[in-house]
A = this chain, B = another copy of it.
Amino acid sequence: MPGIRKPDHAPLELERFVPYQLSIVSNTVSQAIADDYQQRYDLGVTEWRVMAVLARFDGLSAREVAERTAMDKVAVSRALARLVAAGRVRRETHSDDKRRSVLDLTPAGWRIHDEVAPMARQRERELLGQLEPEEQRWLRSILDKLMPPEA
């Protein structure tokens, strides 16, 4: 039976500490989503995020993908290498600027996207389903406020 500490050290109560709670909730739901597709499609979280932005915006460069996914350029480069090798993303070189790539989902990439996206949405529904409609609205507006400007 462990003892409760004296209060003069003012220890943190992890389970009521908001950054800790955010981390647990975030990891739990992200893991649940990842479990849906990781093994099934041999697709990592970073790769899925890249596919998700390319589904919305085609012709992006790798740097633009990095901006929109809050990933760094090395992570994007590695994810793209795998996606291109797997035939899920097409990579061409920009005609005016030969440093830049021009990225698109291939038909195979679209097929995977169209299967994974509904699963991700379903998990989001399950998460929000634990809340009352009023709470769902508060959570959304609070997260909008807390999101860093760049992201």
Copies in the complex: 2
A31 and chain B: residue at smallest CB distance = B19
Known A12-B55, A114-B9, A142-B139; contact A24-B151, beta-carbon cutoff 8 A: yes
A74 proximal to B (CB < 8 A): no
Would you give the shortest CB distance from A105 to chain B, in whole angstroms?
9
In the assembled complex, the Cα of A141 lies from the Cα of B22 at a distance in Å of 12
Q: Are B56 and A4 in contact (CB under 8 A)?
A: yes
A64 and chain B: residue at smallest CB distance = B2
Chain A, 100-128, CB within 8 A of any chain B CB: 110, 113-114, 117-118, 120-121, 123-124, 127-128
A95 proximal to B (CB < 8 A): no
